[in-house]
Chain A
Amino acid sequence: TQLLEQSPQFLSIQEGENLTVYCNSSSVFSSLQWYRQEPGEGPVLLVTVVTGGEVKKLKRLTFQFGDARKDSSLHITAAQPGDTGLYLCAGEARDDKIIFGKGTRLHILP
């Protein structure tokens, strides 16, 4: 069974600080997606990474896919209260299913 482990589970930091959250697996994934989920809503796609070593930027968010396509990181620069939410990584498994990690719950204090 392919699993995705996310760390940390919870993170609470002050506005303006930088942070990195991680998504790790012992398995190789064809692609990896990052979603953000806000209370009472479904997850919303932020980015998809496909190539090992790929780096994508979305304003203050930087996503990286590991060279071996087993792990990924999300770095947020100068966090804002609007960044608060549950960040989920999801991988395309061998059988084409999209499986999710349990997420990192991020809280940015104003």
Chain B
Amino acid sequence: DAGVIQSPRHEVTEMGQEVTLRCKPISGHNSLFWYRQTMMRGLELLIYFNNNVPIDDSGMPEDRFSAKMPNASFSTLKIQPSEPRDSAVYFCASSLRINSPLHFGNGTRLTVT
């Protein structure tokens, strides 16, 4: 079991640039979640998928954020254009089913200057 794999681990970019974060969930897991973590707000759910279909994106802060899951083994979270307030650690997690315990990746630390 390789666990949830996220890339890159660190991303530093300038304001206005496009950022794409990637996630490979655990094989056989049907649900995938994108969270953002900051000191001020803790872990916030951005969006989650079940069987590759987006179920709830109410946590996505703005239209600048978008997420896709083209197949069961890959998801992306894109920010375009990025802003300094997007700086945070972004986590991807997967689970067997919607309400099963979550398995997290090690996150992508995003810094927007």
Out of B48, B98, B99, B104, name the residue touching A43 (CB < 8 Å): B104
Query: Digit string of A72-110 for contact with B (CB within 8 Å is 1, else 0)?
Result: 000000000000000010101001111111110000000
CA A43 to CA B101, docked complex, whole Å: 11
Chain B interface, number of residues (Cβ within 8 angstroms): 20
> Nearest chain B CB to A28's CB is how many angstroms away?
15
Query: Digit string of B90-113 for contact with A (CB within 8 Å is 1, else 0)?
Result: 010100001101111111000000
Q: Quick one: given A30-B99, A96-B98, are A101 and B42 in contact (CB under 8 Å)?
A: yes
Whether B99 and A92, one on each chain, are in contact in the complex, defined by CB atoms closer than 8 angstroms, is yes
Q: B12 in the interface, Cβ–Cβ < 8 Å?
A: no
Whether B104 and A102, one on each chain, are in contact in the complex, defined by CB atoms closer than 8 angstroms, is no
Q: Quick one: given A98-B33, A101-B42, are A42 and B99 in contact (CB under 8 Å)?
A: no
Whether A44 and B104, one on each chain, are in contact in the complex, defined by CB atoms closer than 8 angstroms, is yes
Whether B45 and A42, one on each chain, are in contact in the complex, defined by CB atoms closer than 8 angstroms, is no
Out of B41, B56, B93, name the residue touching A42 (CB < 8 Å): B93
Q: A68 in the interface, Cβ–Cβ < 8 Å?
A: no
Chain A positions within 8 Å of B103 at CB level: 45
- Judged by DSSP, the binding face of B is strand
Whether A97 and B56, one on each chain, are in contact in the complex, defined by CB atoms closer than 8 angstroms, is yes
Q: B4 in the interface, Cβ–Cβ < 8 Å?
A: yes
Chain A positions within 8 Å of B102 at CB level: 33, 35, 43, 45, 90, 98
CA A33 to CA B101, docked complex, whole Å: 8
**Which residue of chain B has the shortest Cβ distance to A43 in the bound complex?**
B104
Residue picked from A42, A88, A99, A102, most chain B C-beta under 10 Å: A42
**Which residue of chain A has the shortest Cβ distance to B92 in the bound complex?**
A42
- B30-89 at interface with A (beta carbon < 8 Å): 33, 35, 41-43, 45, 48, 56
Binding site for B on A (CB under 8 A): 30-31, 33, 35, 40-45, 48, 88, 90, 92, 95-103
Q: Top 6 nearest A-B pairs by Cβ distance?
A: A42-B104, A102-B42, A100-B43, A45-B101, A96-B98, A96-B99
Binding site for A on B (CB under 8 A): 4, 33, 35, 41-43, 45, 48, 56, 91, 93, 98-99, 101-107
